[in-house]
Amino acid sequence: TGRKKLHTAPVGQVFRLRPFHVLVATGGGYAGYRKYEDYKLEQLEKRGIEVPVKLASEWEVALYKSVPTRLLSRAWGRLNQVELPTWLRKPVYSLYIWTFGVNMKEAAVEDLHHYRNLSEFFRRKLKPQARPVCGVHSVISPSDGKILNFGQVKNCEVEQVKGVTYSLESFLGPRVSTEELHFSQAPPGNSFQQQLVTKEGNELYHCVIYLAPGDYHCFHSPTDWTVSHRRHFPGSLMSVNPGVARWIKELFCHNERVVLTGDWKHGFFSLTAVGATNVGSIRIYFDQDLHTNSPSYSKGSYNDFSFISNNNKEGIPMRKGEHLGEFNLGSTIVLIFEAPKDFKFNLKAGQKIRFGEALGSL
């Protein structure tokens, strides 16, 4: 009849499943189930009902890790950089604004047509007066977000959320040499926590801030301090929302993170930017050598970079409120620092906070 023949593959070839596809489908389905469970927990918390801690088993963590979140995050990053047609920008950004409750009145540029792609929209700057920096308190919030936990570090363990902890040493990695941080040598045999405390009578404190997708994505210096060292841990990119942080012990130690360490007037000070799903890119403005979410890495590895050199004996001085870095979507900031025993946090667990507002003071 002159019609073209349609050639079809055997049914067995069409439906052939490969191990990778099985892992993606299984892991993705389980991740979706966990999202639904997280939503139910959030609803219970809003009603004031105490939710018991139920930690993930090893096989559940392994299954979650089977989802190629690093690959998906790189793909999401590429998609975010695609320039949108002018006519499409307002509908796309308006949907995002409605979904995550973004306040565009605070943005330096409110016109949605100005942002060429999603990446530019995520990294939008704020009006100068939108976030006044508190001048009274010694430590301010480095970002917008939700306070997950805060307080003194005890027994070398830090709480990521109430009742779920992680190892201080696993999170920060081996102690940076005292020559780089200008610290006196701690007596041998002391715990990792005691080695970080450089002045008698001081304690070690921590604060965890979760940045939701609708939050302002830049982060700033929380105090006047000097950054001497950067440690980059490649790793997983699991979600860090409060529900997952309550479910996976040492979640922050599994995920990719950038640890900045240095000192302030009371001793040791550190700020850690923790990566998450779709947040493979962590940028530190003064660190051009940092490249996160690379295609391959060795499990358990990390790389160090010192900001102290022959030309710069002091490191990178940062003023309170100064721009420090940015995420591509939203993630977590962890502060771990030394301060006198009378340091007090002005916070409540679960409260919303904005960049520039007080965290605590002496």
Spatial separation of the C-alpha atoms in residues 99 and 86, rounded to whole Å: 21
**What is the dihedral sign for C-alpha 96, 354, 337, 250?**
negative
**291 counts as catalytic:** no
C-alpha distances out from residue 196 to 107, 267, 338, 352, Å: 39, 9, 8, 29
Q: Which of 144, 215, 263, 287 is catalytic?
A: 144
Spatial separation of the C-alpha atoms in residues 125 and 223, rounded to whole Å: 20
What 3-state class would DSSP assign to 227?
strand
Spatial separation of the C-alpha atoms in residues 112 and 135, rounded to whole Å: 33
HEC sequence for 77-122 = HHHHCCCCCHHHHHHHHHHHHHHHCCCHHHECCCCHHHCCCHHHHH
CB 151 within 8 Å of CB 159: yes
Q: What residue type is assigned to position 336 of the chain?
A: I
Q: Which of 137, 220, 254, 266 is catalytic?
A: 220
Spatial separation of the C-alpha atoms in residues 4 and 8, rounded to whole Å: 13
**263 counts as catalytic:** no
**144 counts as catalytic:** yes
Which sequence positions are flagged as catalytic? 144, 220, 331
